[in-house]
Structure 1
Amino acid sequence: MAWYHQWASFAKRLAHVIAKPMKRDSGHGGMMVHPYRGYGSQQEVFVMGRVFRQAALGRAIPRRGMLRDTADVARRIFRRGLANAKVDIRIGENQLCLTTDRDGYFDAHLPISTALPVDISWHRADIMVHADGHLPIRTSVEVYVPPPEADLLVISDIDDTVMFTGVAEKLKMLYRLFVRKPHRRTAFPGVASLYQALYRGQTEKAERPILYVSRGPWAIYEMLETFFQLNRIPVGPILFLREWGISLRRPWPRRAEAHKRDLIDRMLALYHDMPCILIGDSGQHDPEVYTEVVKAYPTRIKAIYIRRVDKDPKREQAIQRLRAELAHTDCELVLAADSILIAEHAHAKGDISARGLQAVQRDVEAHHNEPE
């Protein structure tokens, strides 16, 4: 019966994480605001979020426990975006007013006219939301602005690059995330120390922007945040998810490769004075998308790191052909079996410190020595 208790534990933990955003209203329902961590520069910042209308809890539902979590999961499934809500955003002395779209989203582009402090990387954006028939709501969210020491932009895929997913293994992935012990969770060996090394840089004080992209919908944002915290991966803005809501206006999710390319273009324009490295996996379209990026920005991309997630000879040959296409550029495409190879290349190029490389080597070795 051990398997039953494990799966029961899995169901409880998963329900609790999915239900967590709903608990902010103490069961009263009404309007709720969910901002996502923002990003920007000293010239402009971007803050995205969604405003919801959600049902209240019945009086018979207890305040805690599995029944409450189940009720909150149901409330989350049936909540709806609130259109035309007024959103006021202030960061420092800079302010912007806008309204939510028909699905309740707001995507704020706030020009910075009054400079932000340069001695910190994370700034607080204060948000006030008004909507007819609802009490105003105040909330806040963190916004990342690179410090002057930042010398490199890192854009990384999440799915099958940072964490094991497997399109056909979502349930197993969630089981690993919420039931198994922290060191047996879903991150690839050495990923935490690799991204920490990239974040700190050669000087170990760089605090570089690391921006993560996922093919998943915004609905999994909280689970991704939990995953990053549990696995000690540097928390950058998890910016680039897709809205998967099915409607007559938008019957299908946007293609992942088009979504990713547009966002890379946006980030390269925002951080126009920084070189960039791109990290992805061999299982999807990352090598092709990244190769096209290098062709469009031949002087901006320092390296492409592709994590090998299968051993399909045809796929490897296709990636090697892409590597040959980039031979005349300053960018090298590295097909890596593990985090150590990526770290060794990054160290050789001067992008991480010797201590960072050693940390990756220790973590991967420790993982291999763990008992199953």
Structure 2
Amino acid sequence: MKNGLRRVSHFTKRLLHVAASPMRRDHGRGGVVVHPYRGYGSQREALVMGRVYQQVALGRMIPRRGALRDTADVARRVLRRGVVRAKVDVRLGKNHRQVVTDRDGYFNVRLALESPLPIDVSWHRADIEVRADGHPLVQSQSEVYVPPQETDLLVISDIDDTVMFTGVAEKLKMLYRLFIKKAERRTAFPGVAALYQALHRGKNDKQERPILYVSRGPWAIYEMLEAFFQLNRIPVGPILFLREWGLSLRHPWPRRAEDHKRDLIERMLKLFDDLPCVLIGDSGQHDPEVYAQIVKTHPGRVMAVYIRRVDNDPEREKTIQRLHAELAAQGCALVLARDSLHIARHAYDNGFISTHGWDSVKQDVEQHAQNPEG
């Protein structure tokens, strides 16, 4: 009983600490703050995203750290509001563009790179300045990933039930696994970290391939997913959510996830128009159907579609097998896999990953089989 209460207390404190973490940027002062997300781009264009908030200051009696501070910061997070029509200036190298935030405080900057960025680095710094009426200038920075010129493959992956065990539909259970169970074994599918590292490094173990992740969840869980990626040693990349969940009377429901996912992938393929790609998803949602449409729309562009099987529905399997036959006629392999090892085998046989990468996935999966509790 005592152990159970202790675990619940530990879980609650950790959850509070992570939920409060975005509020620490203002050091309790409140006012207008900007939260940039990781950006991405090509040699021609970059995308920088984020949100501008108005948030209350921290009371003077609140300590600088501890559970009370975290509780107060969570309350401030609940009360904060997006700033509408704030002016956002983004500079990346010698390139510059100004936009205004939308009705929920979000900004999404598409920046034409008229002045080339250095080609000897992949991560670049974007400088951000925000001006809101009646408030002082706010400055921040964002990381922007631009793959090296010699990059040979683009990887686009779903997150929910593809990389991690449970998606945003079961956030509490996912949080419990993330902060109570050992993260490397209980939140990510066995072999996922090694598989994505192998795909990132490529056949010669020296590539820095772009991996773009998508989720059907809201931007509010961005920090949680960042923590998940870091704890599980999964290659970092821009996390691109499918839908913005700020609703209104005119738009009372979020856009259908599959429609938005298809449009998002189309945008990525247009941005990286000289790169072949692989798509990774799961059988539980609409990934196979969405990916099949992408393959048919972009013949010869998609090298493989990897679908993690997360259900035992025989009718679902028949549907995916029909898609397998359709894509085979298009010259694209659809691999329905129970585990990361099956995906890695196909990737290795087709030259997507190295011998070292293949061995790492095998070792990871075998270790998990011997010690599933990690």
TM bracket, shorter-chain basis: over 0.9
AA paired with 1:109?
R
Q: How big is the shift at 1:304? A: 0.3
Determine the C-alpha separation between the residues in 1 that align with 2:185 and 2:264: 32
Deviations 1:57-91 (A, max 9, x none): 22222211111111111111121100111111111
Determine the C-alpha separation between the residues in 1 that align with 2:54 and 2:111: 25
The DSSP-based 3-state class of the residue aligned with 2:104 is coil
| Residues 240, 263 of structure 1: 8 Å contact kept | no
Residues 371 and 217 of structure 1, relative CA distance in 2, 3 Å threshold: closer
**In structure 2, what is the equivalent of residue 24 of structure 1?**
25
Q: How big is the shift at 1:166? A: 4.8
**In structure 2, what is the equivalent of residue 142 of structure 1?**
143
Map 1:86-105; keep pairs closer than 5 Å.
86-105=87-106
Q: How big is the shift at 1:317? A: 0.9
**In structure 1, what is the equivalent of residue 48 of structure 2?**
47
Q: Is 1:288 aligned to residue 298 of structure 2?
A: no
Residue correspondences, number: 372
Map 1:98-247; keep pairs closer than 5 Å.
98-166=99-167, 169-247=170-248
Q: Is 1:256 aligned to residue 257 of structure 2?
A: yes
TM-score, normalised to structure 2, is 0.97
The DSSP-based 3-state class of the residue aligned with 2:18 is helix
Q: Is 1:354 aligned to residue 355 of structure 2?
A: yes
Q: How big is the shift at 1:206? A: 1.6
The DSSP-based 3-state class of the residue aligned with 1:169 is helix
Q: How big is the shift at 1:239? A: 1.9
Determine the C-alpha separation between the residues in 1 that align with 2:168 and 2:45: 36
Q: Is 1:315 aligned to residue 316 of structure 2?
A: yes
**In structure 1, what is the equivalent of residue 277 of structure 2?**
276
Residues 175 and 96 of structure 1, relative CA distance in 2, 3 Å threshold: same
| Residues 163, 186 of structure 1: 8 Å contact kept | yes
| Residues 242, 257 of structure 2: 8 Å contact kept | no
The DSSP-based 3-state class of the residue aligned with 1:355 is helix
Q: How big is the shift at 1:167? A: 5.8
For the aligned residue pairs, the C-alpha RMSD in angstroms reads: 1.1
Gaps of 5+ in 1: none
Deviations 1:205-224 (A, max 9, x none): 22111000001000000100
Q: How big is the shift at 1:171? A: 1.5
Determine the C-alpha separation between the residues in 1 that align with 2:238 and 2:39: 6
Q: How big is the shift at 1:172? A: 1.5
AA paired with 1:60?
M
| Residues 37, 239 of structure 1: 8 Å contact kept | no
Gaps of 5+ in 2: none
Determine the C-alpha separation between the residues in 2 that align with 1:193 and 1:253: 34
Q: How big is the shift at 1:281? A: 0.3
Deviations 1:166-209 (A, max 9, x none): 56532121100011123333100000010000001011122111
Q: How big is the shift at 1:252? A: 1.2
Q: How big is the shift at 1:243? A: 1.6
**In structure 2, what is the equivalent of residue 364 of structure 1?**
365
| Residues 82, 100 of structure 1: 8 Å contact kept | yes
The DSSP-based 3-state class of the residue aligned with 1:242 is coil
**In structure 1, what is the equivalent of residue 64 of structure 2?**
63
Determine the C-alpha separation between the residues in 1 that align with 2:50 and 2:184: 32
Deviations 1:113-167 (A, max 9, x none): 1110111100000111111111111110100001012100110000000001156
Determine the C-alpha separation between the residues in 2 that align with 1:299 and 1:146: 21
| Residues 158, 214 of structure 2: 8 Å contact kept | yes
Residues 157 and 371 of structure 1, relative CA distance in 2, 3 Å threshold: closer
| Residues 202, 209 of structure 2: 8 Å contact kept | yes
Q: How big is the shift at 1:49? A: 0.5
Q: How big is the shift at 1:241? A: 3.9
The DSSP-based 3-state class of the residue aligned with 1:32 is strand
**In structure 2, what is the equivalent of residue 12 of structure 1?**
13
Determine the C-alpha separation between the residues in 1 that align with 2:185 and 2:76: 32
| Residues 38, 144 of structure 1: 8 Å contact kept | yes
AA paired with 2:260?
H
The DSSP-based 3-state class of the residue aligned with 2:278 is strand
AA paired with 1:347?
Y
Determine the C-alpha separation between the residues in 2 that align with 1:106 and 1:51: 8
AA paired with 2:210?
P
Determine the C-alpha separation between the residues in 2 that align with 1:232 and 1:50: 27
| Residues 218, 241 of structure 2: 8 Å contact kept | no
Q: How big is the shift at 1:250? A: 2.6
| Residues 306, 336 of structure 2: 8 Å contact kept | yes
Deviations 1:216-258 (A, max 9, x none): 0000001000000000000011123422223223311221101
Determine the C-alpha separation between the residues in 2 that align with 1:244 and 1:57: 27
The DSSP-based 3-state class of the residue aligned with 1:7 is helix
AA paired with 1:92?
G
Determine the C-alpha separation between the residues in 2 that align with 1:140 and 1:167: 28
| Residues 191, 233 of structure 1: 8 Å contact kept | yes
| Residues 12, 66 of structure 1: 8 Å contact kept | yes
Determine the C-alpha separation between the residues in 2 that align with 1:59 and 1:317: 62
